[in-house]
Amino acid sequence: MNHVRIRSIALAVPATLTALAFAASSASALPEFGQCYKKGPGSKYTEASCVTKATTKRPGEYEWRKATAIEAAKRKFSGTGGEVHLYGLYRVCEPSFSVRAQKCHEGETEGTFSLPVECTSEFNQGEISGSNAVKNVTVTFRGCEGTTAGGKCQSTETAGEIQLGTLKGKLGFINKAATPREVGLLLEPAKAKAKFTTYKCTSLPDSFTIGMGNEKEGCVYPQKACGGDGVISAVTPVNTMTPELTQTFTATEETAENIPSKFEGTHPLKVLEGYLFNSEGTTSMWSKVAESLTNSAKTPEAVEIKAN
- How far apart, in whole angstroms, are the C-alpha atoms of residue 230 and residue 214? 14
- How far apart, in whole angstroms, are the C-alpha atoms of residue 72 and residue 249? 27
Share of the chain above pLDDT 90, in %: 63
Eight-state DSSP code of residue 19? S
pLDDT of residue 221: 82
Write the CB contacts of 257 (distance below 8 Å, at least 6 apart in sequence): 251, 271, 288, 290
**pLDDT-based confidence at 5, cuts 50/70/90?**
very low
| Entry pTM | 0.86
Q: Is 248 left (phi over 0), alpha (psi -120 to 50) or beta?
A: beta
pLDDT of residue 148: 78
Phi, psi of 304 (to 5 degrees): -140, 145
Closest residue by Cα to residue 75 from 11, 36, 133, 23: 133
Task: 42-45: list long-range contacts, CB under 8 Å, 24+ apart.
Answer: none
**Residue 65 vs residues 43, 97, 236: alpha-carbon distances, Å:** 12, 56, 19
Taking only the tens place, the pLDDT of each residue in 26-58 is 344 889 999 999 999 999 999 999 999 999 999
Closest residue by Cα to residue 212 from 267, 289, 127, 150: 289
**pLDDT-based confidence at 225, cuts 50/70/90?**
low
Closest residue by Cα to residue 229 from 191, 200, 277, 198: 191
Domain ranges of the chain: 12-31+69-306
